[in-house]
């Protein structure tokens, strides 16, 4: 007997081998050495996911129960494959040109990229496939139990559930590892496909080995086998005509619509020509798979005890005849069948779930929409991984809930009938331009509902989901609504009954609603592209060849790259191909290079779409669109950055212009001042020279004259000194070299001193001083001499420049939160607005109308002093005259 | 789309490839009819299964062989990439 441990070890080694195969295949594909990976042989073998554990174990059981009927499951696919020129060729071409990722994607894309349809088909596929995955888990578990029963060491059946759990977990791991490695543009998984091909060989070899052993080892050759068949109870089974035709049709429909079959037939197809090979090679594979089913069933029925499960004859027959090695091989074959189906189904379903349910939800949750960047791919992959886990968990739960009691074939056919509901929408979509989205929705929903009501829910048995009364008498006793006898069609085979009504009404509503409605523009466009796929597109693989296209490509490239660069690129390529001129053959390699070149200018997705438009693959997938949106978002962001930059630049330019204007004005002022100051210096100098000359030859001068002339010289010298003092003072203040002599003082005293110094005390001068002495009683800690210098300057200015008939200066002081504010407001005409900004500049003098003295340095000095004191002085517009506000900070103002 | 450029008579090779396409379209129909023969002649109960088994597998195998020949010729006729209007 084979110990259980060895069996587990064999399984583990086998799975490790699969991992290795998938890994090596992925590596080779990544390195571009995938020639044999993409051969027709691998493609054909990968189609063998059609043959699941149901086929491997169940077909024998099916044959033991119902005779030849099991063959229908293979005859249907044979007809579809042999008739590839009709439908499969078109499906594969559409799949390539429209970059279809799943059967749900096909339906959704055909009917105006409607996500509603995508969701419906996805749900249908999930509901239809979950029992099937449960079936695979069950078969693996059952096959383990066969070995456990015959194990002399004894193996607790408790472990069976654990086994199925481990199998499900292992499959999830494998699928996540190799099924969601990358977001390939065309969703191809080289590693998985290669592993599936290996599994296909294993299960074929295993079944053939058991068959050969049974025919030549047990029955003694073909003739002996034929005798045994003729005399076995299997030969007496009735031939049910309805089921024969119905199941052939059903399996033919299923091979087109099963998610996993669509995945390997259309999505994983690397080259359309592989289909030509598969059109006969896959029927041959099916032929070989079913060749020995009847012999094994006959021998099993004859040799096994009456109650033995015929589903397990493939294992129990060799085991009971002592062929343990053969039994182990058969076990591995069954294991392969189960695992390959689960892996591909999980990938197909996860693609659907992530593309049609998770991504739309995610995109609608992202309020930012198209501005999402970068992490979209991560979200898709994450969604796929979670979906794979979810699908397997669902399958496991279904298995645990139903307890694995049903015959294997029953679940398989129910699943077939479920996914076959897609058929009218699928075929109608690719052959009839008039098919509309509403028609497809109506048909699918009707078919799905009837299938669930008449077949799926009753399959849980009376008292399961539906009560026994409901099954027997219909809802509310309405006889013609009985789930298994709709419209009075009682007594039919339940499967054929459900299939008939669901597909009939499905098709009816599909056509009726399509005929009565009017499709949207996008639907009509997609319809035309699907139905006339051979006119709108061409190409057995990837990009196609054509000289006219090369010219178009050149024209387009010139627009993007510039004429010289584009022509250079094309010419180099033409020379490399050994051609003269600018138009190389549009080989896939060249197109890829061109696409990359263009991508450098316009981004990858746009470039692909542009090349695609010319070469014929005009449609873009969701991922392409998202990439385009992504790039657009980036471009928008970039352009808004540019906008901000240019705004900043224009602001800077404006500031520069202002500064320049100020500089120009200052320069003009400076020139004016220089002439002014030379005048100022020259006037006293002239009089000093003139009077000193008079004094020099002045023997005739009287004493009085002498005294007067020398005092003029003295005054002029003082004036010169004052001017030079001012200049010196300003330069010291500006360089911050001034040393402040802080001391306590009172504002009122300071103003008193300033008023006295300007000779305006008590209305003595021309200027009348208007004060609010009470408010001026504020204590200060500051350089009082400097501050009074400021006050004196302001008051003196008012004396000089106030042009009112009765000049008056108001002085108002107050304490504010920040410190002390003193306003000096006269009642003159004030300072014109355009001059307000320059009065504090050096050498500025608004007019030479009044030559009363200063050289335009007073206010500049005031400003420097106030800044050194930590406060400031500003012109206060809108006071009815010239107004200056002196502010002292808090630190300079002591609390009174 | 009108196709005035289409010649009235095809050259021999073109004609052949058209007929091969026709043949591959007809093959599944033939297969279906042959597979449904057991429906027409209901078995009379005296061990019919063995006979039908041989019959069905024979038809099946012949279909595979014809499909292989057709796909090979089709590929040759269309120069590798099947270009044809349905």
Concatenated DSSP letters of A524-546:
HHHHHHHHTHHHH---SSSS---
The confidence score (pLDDT) of residue A421 equals: 92
Say whether residue B48 is in contact with chain A using an 8 A CB cutoff.
Answer: yes
ipTM (interface predicted TM): 0.84
State the Rg of chain A over Cα: 49
Higher pLDDT, A229 or A467: A229
Question: Phi then psi for A875, rounded to 5 degrees?
Answer: -80, 135
Please write the tens of the pLDDT for every residue from A720-741.
888 788 878 877 777 777 777 8
Check CB contact under 8 Å for B28 and A86. yes
- The residue-averaged pLDDT of A22-50 equals 80
The confidence score (pLDDT) of residue A643 equals: 85
Residue A773's Cβ-count burial label (10 Å; 0-12, 13-18, 19+) is exposed
Check CB contact under 8 Å for A283 and B86. no
Q: Give the residue from A41, A67, A78 with the most B CB atoms within 10 Å of its CB, the best one to mutate.
A: A78
The confidence score (pLDDT) of residue A371 equals: 37
What whole-number distance in Å separates Cα of residue A883 and Cα of residue A822? 10
Rounded to a whole number of angstroms, the distance from the CA of A215 to the nearest CA of chain B is 14
B2 in any annotated domain: no
Higher pLDDT, A188 or A266: A266
Please write the tens of the pLDDT for every residue from B14-62.
777 788 888 888 888 998 888 888 777 665 554 456 777 888 889 999 9
B82 in any annotated domain: no
What whole-number distance in Å separates Cα of residue B36 and Cα of residue A128? 28
The confidence score (pLDDT) of residue A588 equals: 65
Q: Going from the N-terminus, what domains does chain A have, and what CATH number goes with each?
A: 4-408 (1.20.1730.10), 543-620 (no CATH), 646-733 (1.10.287.130), 740-892 (3.30.565.10)
Please identify which residue in the block is written with the tokens 């025919």.
A215
Say whether residue B79 is in contact with chain A using an 8 A CB cutoff.
Answer: no
Please write the tens of the pLDDT for every residue from A423-453.
999 999 888 888 888 899 999 999 999 998 8
**pLDDT band at residue A629, thresholds of 50, 70 and 90?**
low
Exposed e or buried b for every residue in A851-876, given b needs 16+ CB within 10 A? eeebbbbbbbbbbbbbebbebebebb
The confidence score (pLDDT) of residue A598 equals: 62
Higher pLDDT, A34 or A190: A190
Lowest mean pLDDT among A317-321, A382-386, A522-526, A556-560: A556-560
Check CB contact under 8 Å for A534 and B50. no
- The residue-averaged pLDDT of A117-131 equals 88
What whole-number distance in Å separates Cα of residue A840 and Cα of residue A548? 76
Higher pLDDT, A64 or A547: A64
B61 in any annotated domain: yes
B70 in any annotated domain: yes
Q: What is the mean pLDDT of chain A?
A: 78
**pLDDT band at residue A603, thresholds of 50, 70 and 90?**
very low
Helical residues (DSSP H) of A420-540, grouped into ranges: 423-431, 437-451, 468-473, 494-516, 521-531, 533-536
pLDDT at A581 over 60: yes
B86 in any annotated domain: no
The confidence score (pLDDT) of residue A775 equals: 84
Total domains in chain B come to 1
pLDDT at A47 over 80: yes
Q: Which residue of B has its CA nearest to A293?
A: B53
Q: Which residue of A has its CA nearest to B65?
A: A280
What whole-number distance in Å separates Cα of residue A790 and Cα of residue A799? 14
| Minimal Cβ distance to B24: which of A85, A90, A281 | A85
What whole-number distance in Å separates Cα of residue A231 and Cα of residue A70? 19
Higher pLDDT, A69 or A591: A69
What whole-number distance in Å separates Cα of residue A774 and Cα of residue A267? 96
What whole-number distance in Å separates Cα of residue A619 and Cα of residue A641? 32
Is residue A63 within 8 Å of residue A234, measured between CB atoms?
A: yes
The confidence score (pLDDT) of residue A94 equals: 83
Check CB contact under 8 Å for B80 and A230. no
Q: Which residue of B has its CA nearest to A72?
A: B35
Check CB contact under 8 Å for B27 and A236. no
Task: Output the CA–CA distances (angstroms, integers) from residue A629 to A145, A359, A369, A635, in the order listed.
Answer: 54, 15, 9, 10
Please write the tens of the pLDDT for every residue from A274-286.
888 888 999 999 9
Please identify which residue in the block is written with the tokens 């138009």.
A583
What's the CA angle centered on A845, arms A841 and A847, to 5 degrees?
A: 150
What's the CA angle centered on A732, arms A730 and A734, to 5 degrees?
A: 65
The confidence score (pLDDT) of residue A204 equals: 92
Check CB contact under 8 Å for A534 and B80. no
Rounded to a whole number of angstroms, the distance from the CA of B11 to the nearest CA of chain A is 22
Residues in chain B with CB shorter than 8 Å from the CB of A84 are: 24, 71
**pLDDT band at residue A372, thresholds of 50, 70 and 90?**
very low
Exposed e or buried b for every residue in A700-709, given b needs 16+ CB within 10 A? eeeeeeeeeb
Exposed e or buried b for every residue in A29-68, given b needs 16+ CB within 10 A? beeeebeebbbbebbbbbbbbbbbbbbbbbbbbbbbbbbb
Check CB contact under 8 Å for A540 and B80. yes
pLDDT at A555 over 60: yes
Rounded to a whole number of angstroms, the distance from the CA of A224 to the nearest CA of chain B is 12
Nearest to A195 by CA among A417, A391, A22: A22
Say whether residue B3 is in contact with chain A using an 8 A CB cutoff.
Answer: no
CA B12 to chain centre: 21
Helical residues (DSSP H) of A33-87, grouped into ranges: 40-46, 53, 59-66, 72-82
B1 in any annotated domain: no
What does the block give as tokens for A532?
Answer: 């006339």
Which structural domain, as residue segments, surrounds residue B16? Answer: 12-77
What whole-number distance in Å separates Cα of residue A465 and Cα of residue A461? 8
**pLDDT band at residue A894, thresholds of 50, 70 and 90?**
low
Say whether residue B7 is in contact with chain A using an 8 A CB cutoff.
Answer: no
Nearest to A51 by CA among A208, A180, A189: A208
CA A762 to chain centre: 83
Rounded to a whole number of angstroms, the distance from the CA of A226 to the nearest CA of chain B is 7
Q: Give the residue from A82, A89, A232, A245 with the most B CB atoms within 10 Å of its CB, the best one to mutate.
A: A82
CA B66 to chain centre: 7
The confidence score (pLDDT) of residue A764 equals: 60
Is residue A263 within 8 Å of residue A30, measured between CB atoms?
A: no
| Minimal Cβ distance to A75: which of B35, B49, B71 | B35
What whole-number distance in Å separates Cα of residue B66 and Cα of residue A292? 23
| B34: enclosing H helix or E strand | helix B12-35
Check CB contact under 8 Å for A226 and B36. no
**pLDDT band at residue A606, thresholds of 50, 70 and 90?**
very low
Higher pLDDT, B1 or A139: A139
What whole-number distance in Å separates Cα of residue A390 and Cα of residue A368? 28
The confidence score (pLDDT) of residue A545 equals: 39
Please write the tens of the pLDDT for every residue from A217-234.
888 888 888 888 877 777
Residues in chain A with CB shorter than 8 Å from the CB of B45 are: 236
Residues in chain A with CB shorter than 8 Å from the CB of B59 are: none
Higher pLDDT, A183 or A35: A35
pLDDT at A632 over 80: no
Lowest mean pLDDT among A537-546, A651-660, B5-14: A537-546
Lowest mean pLDDT among A323-332, A431-440, B30-39, B71-80: B71-80
B83 in any annotated domain: no
Rounded to a whole number of angstroms, the distance from the CA of B85 to the nearest CA of chain A is 6
Say whether residue B12 is in contact with chain A using an 8 A CB cutoff.
Answer: no
Higher pLDDT, A501 or A857: A501
Please write the tens of the pLDDT for every residue from A559-570.
556 667 777 888
Quick one: angle between helices A72-82 and B48-77, nearest 10?
A: 20
CB atoms closer than 10 angstroms to residue A381: 16
CA A555 to chain centre: 32
What does the block give as tokens for B55?
Answer: 């019959």
The confidence score (pLDDT) of residue A508 equals: 93
The confidence score (pLDDT) of residue A363 equals: 65
- The residue-averaged pLDDT of A464-488 equals 71
Which residues, other chains included, contact A193 with Cβ-Cβ below 8 Å and sequence gap of 6+? A25, A37, A42, A43, A46, A264, A268
B65 in any annotated domain: yes
Q: What is the DSSP letter of A893?
A: B
Q: Which residue of B has its CA nearest to A89?
A: B82
pLDDT at A695 over 90: no
Nearest to A251 by CA among A290, A303, A195, A297: A290
The confidence score (pLDDT) of residue A339 equals: 84
pLDDT at A893 over 50: yes
The confidence score (pLDDT) of residue A288 equals: 92
Q: Which residue of B has its CA nearest to A85?
A: B25
Residue A361's Cβ-count burial label (10 Å; 0-12, 13-18, 19+) is exposed
Residues in chain B with CB shorter than 8 Å from the CB of A64 are: none
Check CB contact under 8 Å for B47 and A284. no
Is residue A296 within 8 Å of residue A60, measured between CB atoms?
A: yes
What does the block give as tokens for A242?
Answer: 């309805």
Which residues, other chains included, contact A481 with Cβ-Cβ below 8 Å and sequence gap of 6+? A474, A475
Rounded to a whole number of angstroms, the distance from the CA of B82 to the nearest CA of chain A is 7
- The residue-averaged pLDDT of A827-835 equals 79
Q: What is the DSSP letter of A768?
A: E
The confidence score (pLDDT) of residue A274 equals: 86
Assign A586 to helix, strand or coil: coil
């Amino acid at each position: 007997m084979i110990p259980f441990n060895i069996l587990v070890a064999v399984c583990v080694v086998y799975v490790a081998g699969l991992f290795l195969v998938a890994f090596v295949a992925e590596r080779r594909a990544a390195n571009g050495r995938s020639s044999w990976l993409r051969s027709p042989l691998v493609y054909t073998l990968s189609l063998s996911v059609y043959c699941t554990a149901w086929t491997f174990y169940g077909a024998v059981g099916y044959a033991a129960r119902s005779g030849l009927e099991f063959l229908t499951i293979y005859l249907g696919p044979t007809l579809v494959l042999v008739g590839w020129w009709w439908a499969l060729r078109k499906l594969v071409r559409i799949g390539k040109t429209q970059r279809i990722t799943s059967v749900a994607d096909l339906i959704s894309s055909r009917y105006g990229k409607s996500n509603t349809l995508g969701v419906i088909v996805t749900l249908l596929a999930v509901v239809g496939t979950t029992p099937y995955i449960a079936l695979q888990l069950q078969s693996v578990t059952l096959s383990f139990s066969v070995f456990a029963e015959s194990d002399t060491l004894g193996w607790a059946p408790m472990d069976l559930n654990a086994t199925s759990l481990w199998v499900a977990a292992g499959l999830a791991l494998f699928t996540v590892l190799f099924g969601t490695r990358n977001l390939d543009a065309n969703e191809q998984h080289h590693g998985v496909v290669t592993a599936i091909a290996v599994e296909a060989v294993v299960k074929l070899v295993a079944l053939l080995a058991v068959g050969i052993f049974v025919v030549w080892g047990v029955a003694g050759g073909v003739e002996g086998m034929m005798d045994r068949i003729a005399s076995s109870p299997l030969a007496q089974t009735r031939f049910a005509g309805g089921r024969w035709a119905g199941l052939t049709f059903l399996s033919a429909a299923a091979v087109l619509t099963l998610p996993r079959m669509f995945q390997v037939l259309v999505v994983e197809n690397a080259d359309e020509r592989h289909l030509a090979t598969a059109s006969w090679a896959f029927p041959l594979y099916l032929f070989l798979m079913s060749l020995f089913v009847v012999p094994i069933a006959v021998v099993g029925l004859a040799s096994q005890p009456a109650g033995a499960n015929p589903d397990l004859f493939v294992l129990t027959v060799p085991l009971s005849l002592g062929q343990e090695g053969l039994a182990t091989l058969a076990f591995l074959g069954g294991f392969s069948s189960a695992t390959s189906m689960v892996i591909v189904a999980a990938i197909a379903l996860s693609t659907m779930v992530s593309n049609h349910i998770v991504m739309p939800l995610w995109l609608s949750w992202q309020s930012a929409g198209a501005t999402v960047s970068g992490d979209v791919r991560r979200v898709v992959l994450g969604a796929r991984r979670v979906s794979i886990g979810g699908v397997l968990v669902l399958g496991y739960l279904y298995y645990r809930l139903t307890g694995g009691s049903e015959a294997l074939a029953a679940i398989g056919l129910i699943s077939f009938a479920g996914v076959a509901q897609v058929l009218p929408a699928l075929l109608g979509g690719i052959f009839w331009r008039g098919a509309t989205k509403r028609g497809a929705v109506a048909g699918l929903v009707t078919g799905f509902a009837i299938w669930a009501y008449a077949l799926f829910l009753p399959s849980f048995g009376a008292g399961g989901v539906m009560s026994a009364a409901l099954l027997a008498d219909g809802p509310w006793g309405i006889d013609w609504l009985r789930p298994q006898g709709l419209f009075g069609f009682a007594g039919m085979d339940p499967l054929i009954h459900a299939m008939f009504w669901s597909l009939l009404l499905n098709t009816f509503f599909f056509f009726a609603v399509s005929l009565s409605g009017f499709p949207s523009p996008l639907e009509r466009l997609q319809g035309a592209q699907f139905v006339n796929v051979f006119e709108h597109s061409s190409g057995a693989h990837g990009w196609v060849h054509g000289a006219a296209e090369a010219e178009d490509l050149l024209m387009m490239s010139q627009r993007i790259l510039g004429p010289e660069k584009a022509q250079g690129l094309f010419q180099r390529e033409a020379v490399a191909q050994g051609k003269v001129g600018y138009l190389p053959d549009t080989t896939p390699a060249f197109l890829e290079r061109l696409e990359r070149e263009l991508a450098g200018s316009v981004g990858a997705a746009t470039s692909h779409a542009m090349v695609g438009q010319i070469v014929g693959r005009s449609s873009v997938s969701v991922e392409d669109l998202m990439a385009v949106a992504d790039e657009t978002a980036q471009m928008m962001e970039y352009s808004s950055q540019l906008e901000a930059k240019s705004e900043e630049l224009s602001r800077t330019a404006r500031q520069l212009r202002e500064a320049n204007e100020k500089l120009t004005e200052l320069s003009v002022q400076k020139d004016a001042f220089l002439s002014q100051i030379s005048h100022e210096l020259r006037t006293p100098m002239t009089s000093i020279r003139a009077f000193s000359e008079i004094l020099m030859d002045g023997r005739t001068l009287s004493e009085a004259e002498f005294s007067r002339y020398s005092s003029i010289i003295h005054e002029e010298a003082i004036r010169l000194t004052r001017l030079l003092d001012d200049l010196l003072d300003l330069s010291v203040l500006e360089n911050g070299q001034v040393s402040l002599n802080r001391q306590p003082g009172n504002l009122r005293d300071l103003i008193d001193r300033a008023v006295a110094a300007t000779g305006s005390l008590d209305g003595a001068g021309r200027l009348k001083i208007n004060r609010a002495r009470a408010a001026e009683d504020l204590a200060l800690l500051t350089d009082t001499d400097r501050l009074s210098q400021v006050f004196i300057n302001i008051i003196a200015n008012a004396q000089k420049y106030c042009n009112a008939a009765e000049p008056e200066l108001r002085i108002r002081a107050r304490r504010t939160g920040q410190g002390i504010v003193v306003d000096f407001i006269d009642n003159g005409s004030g300072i014109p607005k355009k001059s307000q900004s320059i009065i504090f500049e050096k050498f500025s003098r608004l007019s030479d109308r009044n030559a009363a003295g200063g050289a335009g340095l007073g206010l500049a000095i005031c400003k420097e002093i106030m800044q050194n004191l930590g406060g400031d002085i500003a012109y206060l517009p809108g006071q009815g005259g010239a107004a200056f506000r002196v502010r002292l900070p808090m630190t300079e103002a002591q609390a009174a | 789309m009108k196709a005035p450029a289409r010649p009235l008579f095809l050259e021999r090779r073109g004609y052949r490839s058209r007929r091969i396409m026709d043949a591959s379209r007809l093959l599944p129909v033939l297969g279906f009819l042959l597979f449904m023969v057991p429906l027409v002649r209901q078995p009379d109960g005296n061990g019919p299964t063995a006979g039908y088994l041989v019959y069905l597998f024979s038809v099946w195998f012949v279909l595979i062989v014809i499909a292989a020949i057709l796909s090979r010729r089709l590929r040759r006729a269309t120069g590798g990439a099947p270009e044809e209007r349905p």
